[in-house]
Amino acid sequence: MTTGFQKALDRVTRVRGVRGAMLVAGDDGLVVAESLMEGVRGNALAALAASLAKRFRRASETAACGLPQFIHLQASQGSLLAAPAPSGMLLVVVAEADINVGLARLEMLKAGEAIA
Amino acid sequence: MTQTRAVEPWTLDPLQHFVGESAARLALLTTTSGQVIAQHGFTRAVDVMSAAALGAAIAASTSEIIRMLQEPAFRMLSHQGQSHGIFLARFGTPRGPMLALVVYGGDSSIGLVQLFFEQFTRDLAAACPAPEPAKPVLAADFERDLHESLAALFGR
């Protein structure tokens, strides 16, 4: 199972501009598997990204838009991408500012299906 | 209105910061024997006393199991319920070991609580005044001290 998670992360980290990826337990905000560059605090990122995704889900449901499928947070020096996986996990990616978001999104959704 | 109160004033700011960041609903800071140091979110003294006693008992019994397994000392326990989670941790301060009992709801997570708890222990260590020499415990002072502690915790 752990190898499956790692394969899913490898698929995403191969995309140019991805600085790291991690699988997070959606409800708990704990790290399940990670492949991050040095200097990124995995546990902090997991907890905060899961909290953010939870709030987005609430906002999206309140707006009658259904469940969020992909979250893209664009910051001044990079991007944070998140895709809820069907298994209840959250796939989180830290990326460069100039990443090809469409390609990253595609690979993240495929990776999410692979770990379902 | 939910309030944070402390018997030891130096714990107040770190506890308020922790509760604000982690979105914890209840938080209780005690000694390892269950003596209350600070609390957030409790409205009744009896709930504080019960939670403090139970937290200390859980920590003590878990410590004993850990000792039997020859593992390093008890650090933390977590229970995830349907609508609430419980986090119990033992940590060191310049004033000696303490316990923190934290209850969180759906607007937080164990990941968030753990994350900000690390910061909380650092903030407490930084805020802790130098240890005072131990004073003799006198029976005559017991009731007065108890009332002062309850007044500090519940503002009565």
**pLDDT tens across B74-101, in order?**
899 999 999 999 999 999 998 899 999 9
Cβ–Cβ contact A52 with B under 8 A: no
State percent of chain B over pLDDT 70.
96
Q: What is the pLDDT of residue B155?
A: 67
Determine the Cα–Cα distance for residues B134 and B13; give it in Å rounded to an integer. 25
Going along chain A from its start, the domains and CATH numbers come out as: 2-114 (3.30.450.30)
Interface test with B, best of A23, A24, A51 (most B CBs within 10 A): A51
Going along chain B from its start, the domains and CATH numbers come out as: 4-129 (3.30.450.30)
Determine the Cα–Cα distance for residues B81 and A89; give it in Å rounded to an integer. 18
User: What's the mean pLDDT in B8-12?
Assistant: 93
Task: Give me the interface pTM, i.e. the ipTM.
Answer: 0.79
DSSP string, A54-82: HHHHHHHHHTT--S---EEEEETTEEEEE
Determine the Cα–Cα distance for residues B18 and B11; give it in Å rounded to an integer. 11
- Identify all chain A residues contacting B109, using CB atoms and an 8 Å cutoff: 27-30, 47, 50-51, 54
Interface test with B, best of A28, A30, A55 (most B CBs within 10 A): A28
For the beta carbon of residue A81, count every other beta carbon within 10 angstroms.
23
Determine the Cα–Cα distance for residues B153 and B134; give it in Å rounded to an integer. 23
Determine the Cα–Cα distance for residues A20 and A42; give it in Å rounded to an integer. 10
* pLDDT tens-digit series, residues A27-86: 899 999 999 888 889 999 999 999 999 999 999 999 999 999 999 999 999 999 999 988
Determine the Cα–Cα distance for residues B103 and B110; give it in Å rounded to an integer. 10
- Identify all chain A residues contacting B117, using CB atoms and an 8 Å cutoff: none
What residue ranges in chain B does DSSP mark as E strands? 4-6, 24-31, 36-40, 76-80, 85-93, 96-104
Cβ pair B140, B123 in contact under 8 A: no
Beta bridge partners of B102: B27, B87
Residue of chain A minimizing CA distance to B82 = A27
Cβ–Cβ contact A49 with B under 8 A: no
Whether B72 shows a pLDDT value over 60: the answer reads: yes
Residue of chain A minimizing CA distance to B109 = A28
Mean pLDDT of chain B: 90
Classify the phi-psi angles of B33: left when phi > 0, otherwise alpha if psi is within -120 to 50, otherwise beta.
alpha
- Identify all chain A residues contacting B79, using CB atoms and an 8 Å cutoff: none
Cβ contact, residue pair B112, A44, below 8 Å: no
* pLDDT tens-digit series, residues B106-152: 889 999 999 999 999 999 999 988 777 777 767 777 777 777 777 77
